[in-house]
Homo-oligomer: A and B are copies of this chain.
Amino acid sequence: MNKLLRVKMGKTPSWSVEEMDAYAGMGGRNLTSKIIATEVPADCHALGPENKLVIAPGLLSGSAAAISGRLSVGCKSPLTGGIKESNAGGQAAQTMARLGYGAIVLEGEPEAGDLFKLVITKDEVKLEKADDLKGLGNYAVIDKLRVLHGEKAAYMSIGQAGEMKMASASIACTDMELHPTRHCGRGGVGAVMAAKGLKAIVFDDEGCGMRQPVDPEAFKAANKVFTKGLQNHSVTGQALPAYGTNVLANIINEAGGYPTNNFTTGQFPGVGRISGETQAELEEKRGGKATHGCHRGCVIQCSGIYNDKDGKYLTKQPEYETIWAHGANCGINDLDTIARLDRMDDDFGLDTIEMGATIAVAMEAGLAKFGDGEAAIRMVQEVGDGTPLGRILGAGCAVTAKALGIEKAPVVKGQAMPAYDPRPIQGIGVTYATSTQGADHTAGYAIATNILKVGGFVDPLKPQGQAELSRNLQIATAAIDSTGMCLFIAFAVLDQPETFQALIDLINAFYGLSLTADDVTALGKSVLTIERDFNKKAGFTKEDDRLPRYFRREKLAPHNVVFTVPDEELDEVFNW
């Protein structure tokens, strides 16, 4: 992972391989954010030639460390206008790391109409015209590429949404079955990949071995403790493998924080029909899978396979956020409809959270009735087709509300809120408001402590302690996002000191370091500081660290609460 591949688009596209140099020892989000902050002018246009797209596996990706296959993609976001790190599972991170690349940096601007694929093998890098892939969805792209580049390669690609440079366009990574289902979903990173003229990347790591630790014995021992810790925790050892992330549906609904009909109430009457329990049963019944890993080396196995009524593969098991976004938030209570929408999003290359939130806004504006699944399918189809309505929706929730002239867009920094209402779960509201990424649950998952009572308990309905909770989680997350580890390790790491220590031991053994817990905290703070500085230069102020005012004005049933964390406390989240 000492190589940095720099691809320069322009009249004559070219690429070069450099040593990591100034960026050595960095991985994942730490690396993407550092490169963006160093090399991209904060006031540039996200789709212009000055922006860059950085792809980076985590520090432990490509090694034998359990669940280390997360990939970070960074850029200036066309959705938020700020810095973006969007990460995904799938096979890309592991293969890219084994190929020895710490980062790929896409820069410049292609000639109009040019579209390329980048093929990386052990021995060479090729940048080839990809006209045959133009206009294809991710599934069709992979069908073509796997014939040429094989079943063992990993693939990244963009669908039609990316090619149209939509602000909700994602980048797909293939999973173990070569389905393009693991997405760097948020912030429009797919549009930036398109703006660099790249349709797909092929990672063929044939001939490359597993990355080897400096101290194999210590590494092996730490990995054992780490894995055991994950398996022993009730969330990662039981709930997630059994029901996937959608185990949360009943839990969050029960807590009154399951945003329904565009965040107008906190409980969805149809939750029983779309819950994780119902979903797992249906998947098993149809010969799909309720327990499955999104990449090799995963020991949690929270993903799954969703078959249609005829037992044929339709999509991966849709995540909790997807089922919420296309389900409860649009008043839709039918899993097959939601799974179809998930498949369409994956194929067109769209962020499922942004799309669901956007359709709900369109429903609020009167374009369809809440609960109308067929209308939702038609709308996503219009996005893929690039019709005028599709262009509105594809630009995301904030733009859709602006185009349709309505106030109630649940967004922060232009990015749609995910599946937790910030009024009855105030800790996540602090994360939404203050994250460098726009509204993003993964940036500081306060649900853990507010609702799941992981890492202690902070009363979700009260403002007290939420800022501190979010701060600590955001710091820890920024560090974890740099390791390549799946964020779900946080449950065990928060609750079990020995699992946290094992994580540090893994890094130390791999790199021959002697980091402490304080170093991990320092890393997290450093990443956040880099990102905050970029956003400041891009023009963000404390006014951008706010929820829309209506979250302070309109009470949410059943708890009938508004968001009450004071602005002053929001402004202290990054004062450490």
- A interface residue numbers (CB < 8 A to B): 41-45, 47-50, 78, 164-167, 191, 194, 387-389, 391-392, 394-395, 399, 402-407, 537-544, 546, 548-550, 553
- Give the residue among A164, A194, A543 with the most B Cβ atoms within 10 A: A543
Complex Cα–Cα for A47 and B549 (A)? 12
Contact A45 B405 (CB under 8 A): no
- Give the residue among A41, A45, A389 with the most B Cβ atoms within 10 A: A45
Give min CB distance, A497 to chain B, whole Å. Answer: 41
Give min CB distance, A384 to chain B, whole Å. Answer: 14
Identify which of B389, B402, B549 contacts A43 (C-beta below 8 A): B549
Contact B407 A48 (CB under 8 A): yes
Knowing that A165-B404, A395-B402 touch, tell me 15 more A-B residue pairs with CB under 8 angstroms. A45-B407, A45-B548, A45-B550, A47-B406, A48-B407, A49-B553, A78-B402, A165-B405, A165-B406, A167-B405, A391-B403, A395-B399, A399-B403, A537-B543, A539-B540
Q: Which residue of B lies closest to A191 (CB)?
A: B405
Contacts of A546 in B (CB 8 A): 43
Give min CB distance, A190 to chain B, whole Å. Answer: 11
Contacts of A166 in B (CB 8 A): 405
A-B CB contact pairs (8 Å), 20 listed? A43-B546, A47-B405, A47-B407, A49-B553, A167-B405, A191-B405, A194-B405, A387-B388, A388-B389, A388-B391, A391-B392, A391-B403, A392-B403, A394-B403, A395-B403, A538-B543, A539-B540, A539-B541, A539-B544, A540-B541
Contacts of A549 in B (CB 8 A): 41, 43-45, 48, 50
Give min CB distance, A192 to chain B, whole Å. Answer: 11
Contacts of A548 in B (CB 8 A): 45
- Give the residue among A78, A165, A548 with the most B Cβ atoms within 10 A: A165
Contacts of A388 in B (CB 8 A): 387-389, 391-392
Give min CB distance, A354 to chain B, whole Å. Answer: 13
Identify which of B391, B537, B540 contacts A404 (C-beta below 8 A): B391
Q: Which residue of B lies closest to A548 (CB)?
A: B45
Contact B543 A43 (CB under 8 A): yes
Contacts of A45 in B (CB 8 A): 407, 548-550
Contacts of A167 in B (CB 8 A): 402, 405
Contacts of A191 in B (CB 8 A): 405
Contacts of A47 in B (CB 8 A): 405-407
Q: Which residue of B lies closest to A387 (CB)?
A: B388
Identify which of B387, B399, B541, B544 contacts A402 (C-beta below 8 A): B399
Complex Cα–Cα for A389 and B541 (A)? 33
Complex Cα–Cα for A537 and B550 (A)? 18
Give min CB distance, A404 to chain B, whole Å. Answer: 6
Give min CB distance, A264 to chain B, whole Å. Answer: 14
Contacts of A41 in B (CB 8 A): 549
Q: Which 9 A-B pairs have the closest CB atoms?
A: A165-B405, A539-B543, A388-B389, A388-B388, A391-B403, A48-B407, A395-B403, A45-B407, A47-B407
Give min CB distance, A390 to chain B, whole Å. Answer: 8
- Give the residue among A49, A387, A399, A544 with the most B Cβ atoms within 10 A: A399
Contacts of A407 in B (CB 8 A): 45, 47-48
- Give the residue among A47, A403, A538, A539 with the most B Cβ atoms within 10 A: A403
Contacts of A43 in B (CB 8 A): 543, 546, 549
Contact B539 A48 (CB under 8 A): no
Complex Cα–Cα for A335 and B135 (A)? 39
Give min CB distance, A144 to chain B, whole Å. Answer: 24
Give min CB distance, A207 to chain B, whole Å. Answer: 39
Give min CB distance, A365 to chain B, whole Å. Answer: 9
Identify which of B44, B164, B405 contacts A405 (C-beta below 8 A): B164
Q: Which residue of B lies closest to A382 (CB)?
A: B388
- Give the residue among A43, A50, A407 with the most B Cβ atoms within 10 A: A407
Contacts of A399 in B (CB 8 A): 395, 399, 402-403
Complex Cα–Cα for A553 and B45 (A)? 12
Q: Which residue of B lies closest to A409 (CB)?
A: B45
Q: Which residue of B lies closest to A44 (CB)?
A: B549
Complex Cα–Cα for A471 and B43 (A)? 24
Q: Which residue of B lies closest to A169 (CB)?
A: B405
Give min CB distance, A281 to chain B, whole Å. Answer: 39
Q: Which residue of B lies closest to A537 (CB)?
A: B543
Complex Cα–Cα for A389 and B404 (A)? 11
Contact B389 A48 (CB under 8 A): no
Contacts of A406 in B (CB 8 A): 47, 165
Contacts of A405 in B (CB 8 A): 47, 164-167, 191, 194
Complex Cα–Cα for A412 and B49 (A)? 19
Contacts of A395 in B (CB 8 A): 399, 402-403
Contacts of A550 in B (CB 8 A): 45, 48
Complex Cα–Cα for A129 and B550 (A)? 27
Complex Cα–Cα for A44 and B402 (A)? 14
Contacts of A49 in B (CB 8 A): 553
Contacts of A544 in B (CB 8 A): 539
- Give the residue among A47, A167, A388, A549 with the most B Cβ atoms within 10 A: A388
